[in-house]
Amino acid sequence: MTAPEDGISRPPTTNGNGAVKTLAIRLEPDVHAQLSLIAQLRGSTITDEIKNALAAHMEAAKHADDLMARADEALADIERDAAARRDALSTLFATPESTKPRPRTARKDTGSSPGT
């Protein structure tokens, strides 16, 4: 059960996938009072105000050059790690025949050309 701003316990709500994550944050009393007032004036809830602020923050983060550069670095790290794990698995489960270099074979010419 969750305890929303009004203090009444309710079962957790779900998103389209059937689950949500709960996050508890600590606010200074003056920040909470201001946020509560903003929500009340908008006919909203504190939770909705926080969700809207987070959505705007994440949208802005998508366009931050420094964050994009860090994301590129993280992707490169993931690719390097995946390659190392792939190599380790290949080495671990390799059969003696799979470790030998494959002989190159010449392709046979069938004598036909495209379009004939």
Model confidence at 48: pLDDT above 70: yes
Decide if 47 contacts 5 (C-beta within 8 A): yes
What local confidence, expressed as pLDDT, does residue 101 receive? 58
Q: Can you give the residue ranges of every domain in the chain?
A: 29-91
For the stretch 85-94, pLDDT in tens is: 999 999 998 8
More confident residue, 58 or 18: 58
DSSP helix/strand/coil, 2: strand
